[in-house]
Chains A and B, each alone.
Chain A
Amino acid sequence: MMIAVPVDETKEALCVSFGRAPYVLFYDTEREQGQVRENPAAQSEGGAGIQAAQFVVDGGAQALVTVRCGENAAQVLQAAEIAIYKAQGSAKEALEDLKEGKLPRMTTFHAGFHGIR
Chain B
Amino acid sequence: MTVAILSGKGGTGKTFLSVNLAAAAEQAVYIDCDVEEPNGRLFLRPRAVEQRAVTTPLPAFDGARCDGCRRSVDFCRFHALVYVKGKPMVFPDVCHACGGCSLVCPQGAVREEARTVGAVETGARDGIQVVTGILNTGEASAVPVIRAALAAGLGQEDTTIIDCPPGSSCSVMESVEKADYCVLVTEPTAFGLHNLRMVQELVTLLGKPWGVVLNKAEGDYPPLEQFLKETGGTILASIPFSPELAALGAGGKLACRRSPEFKALLQGLLTRLREECGA
Contact = CB atoms under 8 A, between A and B. Distances in A.
Interface of A: 41, 44-48, 50-51, 53-54, 57, 72, 75-76, 79-81, 112, 114-117
A46 to B, nearest CB: 5
A80 B91 CA distance: 15
A116 B93 contact: yes
Nearest to A79: B84
B82 A53 contact: yes
5 contacts: A44-B79, A45-B77, A50-B94, A76-B89, A117-B93
Given A45-B77, A50-B94, A54-B83, 20 more contacts: A47-B76, A47-B79, A48-B79, A50-B80, A53-B82, A54-B73, A54-B82, A54-B84, A57-B82, A72-B91, A72-B94, A75-B89, A76-B82, A79-B82, A79-B85, A80-B84, A80-B85, A81-B85, A116-B140, A117-B140
Contacts, number: 53
A50 B140 CA distance: 17
Contact of B80 (A45, A47, A80): A47
A112 to B, nearest CB: 8
* Top 9 A-B pairs, shortest CB-CB distance: A47-B79, A51-B79, A50-B79, A116-B140, A79-B84, A80-B84, A54-B82, A47-B94, A116-B93
Interface in B58-83: 73, 76-80, 82-83
Nearest to A76: B82
A116 B94 contact: yes
B89 to A, nearest CB: 6
B219 interface: no
A79 B89 contact: yes
B260 interface: no
Contacts of B78: 45-47
A95 B80 CA distance: 31
Contacts of B76: 47
B37 to A, nearest CB: 16
B84 A46 contact: no
Interface in B205-251: none
